[in-house]
Amino acid sequence: MIMFEDLFCERLTKLRLSKGVSAREMSLSIGQSPGYINNLENKKNFPTMGNFFYICHYLGVTPSEFFDSDNVAPELLNDLISDLKHLDSNQLANVSAIVKGLKK
């Protein structure tokens, strides 16, 4: 049985890697010691609520998106949704058809 801590650590690692940054770089960027993120990913520590919000901000995700493991690229999806809002109904229908074709 996978525990909550395991899911947190796996998701943190996936999101960090998708951003293309090292654990050390991320640690320093959020104002922590160089090994902070590494310790979180290796289940040696667990972040405070405040640090969790810093982590989410750094990764460009909301706390809800952090825990949505079906959303493999939350930052990219948010950018796409933002762009889609500027399309007219015909353009949206075309994009929808393309997405449905890709899902097959």
pLDDT of residue 2: 58
Task: Tell which wins on pLDDT, 83 or 2.
Answer: 83
Q: What domains can you pick out in the chain, each with its CATH number?
A: 4-103 (1.10.260.40)
In angstroms, the CA 51 to CA 32 distance is 9
Q: Tens of pLDDT along 8-66? A: 999 999 999 999 999 999 999 999 999 999 999 999 999 999 999 999 999 999 999 99
Question: Please, which residues have CB within 8 angstroms of residue 95's CB and are 6 or more apart in sequence?
Answer: 84, 87
CB neighbours of residue 86 within 10 Å = 7
Task: State the number of CA atoms in the 13 A half-sphere of 33 facing the CB.
Answer: 7
92: pLDDT strictly greater than 60: yes
Question: Please, which residues have CB within 8 angstroms of residue 59's CB and are 6 or more apart in sequence?
Answer: 15, 16, 19, 66, 74, 75
